[in-house]
A and B are shown apart, each in its own frame.
Chain A
Amino acid sequence: MGGDATEKPDGVAFLLLLPTVILLLALFVGPVLYAFYLGLTNIALMGPTARNFHFTGMINIHRLMRDSLFWESLKLTAIFVAASAIVGVTVVGMALAVLIQHAVAWLRAVVGAIVVVAWMLPPLTAALIWYAFSTTGGTLSLIGGSQLDVLNTFPMFVVCLANIWATAGFSMLVLSAGLRSVPTEVLEAGRMEGASRWRVFCSLTIPIIQPTIVTNILLVTLLSLANFSLIYIMTGGGPGNATNILPIYSYQQALVFGKLGYGALLGDVVVIIATIFAYLYVRVSRSTRMAAA
């Protein structure tokens, strides 16, 4: 009943899909391809090449290769995504999911609601909350000393924490669903064999929900890669270039310095990275479905 994968789609199915395909081509594929083209031009926000821009071949790519700030920005993007999305959100999300699974009903409801609300807050609100929390005069300085300025002292650490705080709710929901799917008889068998709770968790639960974990990591990575607002509002990429991740650097080049062509190229790099993660996500999802079937 599941349908044959090699079955050819009929005409009706094609017609039903057509509006979606047209919309995707017009509103997604088209603009992305145009952005790739703009990345190879000298278009500027203002000035002689604002309207009379032209294709400049590999000039922007050569500049990209020798732009030390781009490489620094790429490194910072990797740190931000790895620290906040892969490590932070997954670990915190998993901890919350496990705790909620074992908590009493009312605590589960309260904690779940708080974490999900944090996830549902607009990035602007989350950024302002964390800005107010971590600068001098904020909550943290009231606790740790009036001159404490954690945001400017450890900027990347704080923006990662803010991202974890804002995204852990999503991770918790995904991983909770994964934990609920673990057969209890398997876990009970492990316990009967004398394994500790930790051993059961590491050797049984984690391998069983591994596809869910990988899916969660990929999704949170994609969410974090596109998380421009949080850092822009909290630090604007500073102090100096300490939190200047690629989306911020792309914005700076295009809309502050007015170099739209080079800014588009930097944006293209983000698109390529996101596409790789999206492809991995699709592959993992497909293999999970096939394993389930």
Chain B
Amino acid sequence: MGKHRRRPLYAIALAVGVMTVISGTSRPARAADKTVISCAYSETYVFDNEDLTKKWWGGIKAEFEKMHPDVTVQLVQIQGGYDDIVNKLSLLYRSPTTAPDIAQMATPTVDRFASSGYLLPLDKYLVKTDWWKKFPPVIQGEGAWQGKTYSVNTGENDSMLYYNVELFKKAGLPVPWKPTSWNDILAAGRVIKAKLPGVVPIWILAGTGSGDNTVLMGVDTMLAGSSTPMIFDEKTQKWVVDSPGLREVFSFYHSVFSEGLGAKLSDLFSTSGVTAPVFMIPKNQIAITFGSNFYGGNWSKLVSTPYWPQASQVAAVVPVPTVNGKAPNISTTIGGWDLAISATTKHPDLAFELLDFMMNKENQINAANWAGFVPADTDYVKDPSFLNFAAPYNELSAVVLPDGVIEPPSGDYLVWSRGAQEATGALAQHPNTTVDQAIGILSDYVKNQLDPSQTEVLK
């Protein structure tokens, strides 16, 4: 009896097995018929959290595959931080078999990927779109190399000055506050220090802990509003290691740290120094912050890192002024993330169609809100779904964007940046460091890493 009873089980198992084999073999056959477009992107670094990364890229895949049933969008996630993304993409591009059809990359790296021969020029496609012409020229220029455009921006970050309204009122400072020069910032910081001990008067990043982000949100942002806003001299093809503008910037740092207006070294030198103010501002621990546009989005209910419903009443925001109030009195660097197509893609038209889909209004505003970006399209930044997501921060971030300055695209910029990190680190750690010594640290570092003949002094 037992054996007879088992026979049907054997038969079912056999049938299931055969079905599995049939279905297993038939699935790849169907998949093989489809055109595969691969997209490499950061899983953990660009969007505000992994769920939002999955939501955006998953949405792109689902929608595009719905529009094109014969296409499979293959998602290639890259884990880790900024350097990991650059390194992984470099490795993927080394072989045509692993090069992603579309890749998300940091704007300062586009030039180097393009000069490697990895990227497809997009000019013939871009002229046919309605969104490309609405990008500010400075952002269009981010993807350019030797006269051709190799990438399109999918969101920018810029710098702004946050101040705590409650702390300003307690210290007797005017609200709203409208600093017109760097001296105004120092003056307010001095009042905060005198009236509110325990509060960090001025948060400005320094040192090597946060890498180039330290310089982007500090030295570079201020240098953009200095009397000589130049890092790399295009005419002479040399790196500027000493200039009146650099001295103005280091002089500001010197005042901040020699007068005890800066933050603790453990916070400044930490690898999480970039995001520390997002948590410290709601706790009334910082009065004035040289910060990034993404703070407001982080305080929204959707992102909640941390959720801070009172943000718009407590944390006000103004543009970083220039050194002495010169119009338009905006100092900021800009840098974001671009999308590029591989030079070895077998489906360039389809890849651009997917890229074009990513660039539509809904996708770009979602990317901006979920990653803390400012959309590059000058129409999208006026849309209420962007403005209201993190008011009033998103509005100001769009206002300052067209006046932003991009960092030099050369790989050697990171050497200059490291020199600037060490100079600001010395000013923060040893408050008796003079401006001359800080200039010397930057200059020595760049000369040692590159060559003295590749540097220059601006008078």
Contacts and interface: CB of A to CB of B under 8 A. Distances in A.
Interface of A: 44-48, 50-51, 67-69, 135-137, 147, 149, 151-152, 236-241, 252, 255-258
B178 interface: no
Contacts of A46: 86, 90, 109, 112-113, 115-116, 411
B448 A67 contact: yes
A50 to B, nearest CB: 4
Chain B interface residue number, banded: 35 or more
Name A's interface SS.
loop
Nearest to A68: B448
B207 A238 contact: yes
7 contacts: A46-B411, A47-B115, A69-B449, A149-B266, A239-B265, A240-B207, A252-B418
Contact of A152 (B86, B415, B429, B449): B429
B208 A255 contact: no
B346 interface: no
Report the 8 A-B pairs with minimum CB-CB distance, sorted nearest first.
Answer: A46-B112, A136-B266, A135-B266, A238-B208, A50-B116, A152-B265, A45-B90, A47-B112
B237 interface: no
Given A136-B265, A236-B208, A238-B209, A45 B117 contact: no
Contacts of A45: 86-87, 90
Interface in B75-100: 83, 86-87, 90, 94
Interface string B359-371: 0000000000000
B147 to A, nearest CB: 16
Contacts, number: 89
Given A67-B448, A236-B271, A241-B422, 19 more contacts: A44-B411, A45-B90, A46-B90, A46-B112, A47-B112, A50-B116, A68-B448, A69-B449, A135-B266, A137-B266, A147-B264, A239-B207, A239-B265, A239-B425, A240-B426, A240-B429, A255-B87, A256-B83, A257-B411
B269 interface: yes
Q: Which of B211, B267, B269, B271 has the most CB of A within 10 A?
A: B269
B414 interface: yes
Interface string B99-131: 000000000010011011100000000000000
A69 B83 CA distance: 21
A240 B422 contact: yes
Interface in B376-418: 411-412, 414-415, 418
Interface in B250-267: 264-267
Nearest to B264: A136
Contact of A47 (B94, B116, B269, B426): B116
B90 A50 contact: yes
A51 B448 contact: no
Given A51-B117, A152-B429, A240-B422, A258 B266 contact: no
